[in-house]
Amino acid sequence: MRASDRAYAILLDEIQSGVLAPGAVLAEVEQSTRLGVSRTPLREALSRLTTDGLAVQQSPRVTVVSDVDTSDIRELFELRRALEETAARLAAERGDASAFAELARAFGQATLTHGDDLDAYYSLIAQFDAQLDAAVVNDYLTSALRNVRTHLVRVRRLARDNPDRLAASVAEHRLIASAIAARDADLAAHATHVHLHNALSSILTALDSPTGGSPAASPSTQGAA
14, amino acid identity = E
Question: What is the pLDDT at residue 36?
Answer: 94
Does 197 have pLDDT greater than 50?
yes
pLDDT band at residue 171, thresholds of 50, 70 and 90?
Answer: very high
Instruction: Give the end-to-end CA distance of the chain in Å, rounded to a whole number.
Output: 31
pLDDT at 115: 64
> What is the model's pLDDT at position 216?
37
Q: Does 165 or 55 have the greater pLDDT score?
A: 55
15, 39, 56, 63, 171 from 30: Cα distances, Å = 16, 10, 17, 12, 46
Q: What is the pLDDT of residue 55?
A: 95
Backbone angles phi, psi at 61, to 5 degrees: -120, 0
**Averaged pLDDT for residues 183-189:** 98
Helix, strand or coil, per DSSP, at residue 64: strand
- Residues 59-107: pLDDT tens digits? 888 899 998 889 999 999 999 999 999 999 999 999 999 999 999 999 9
The letter for the amino acid at 166 is L
Q: Which residues pair with 64 in a beta bridge?
A: 25, 56
The pTM for the full model equals 0.80
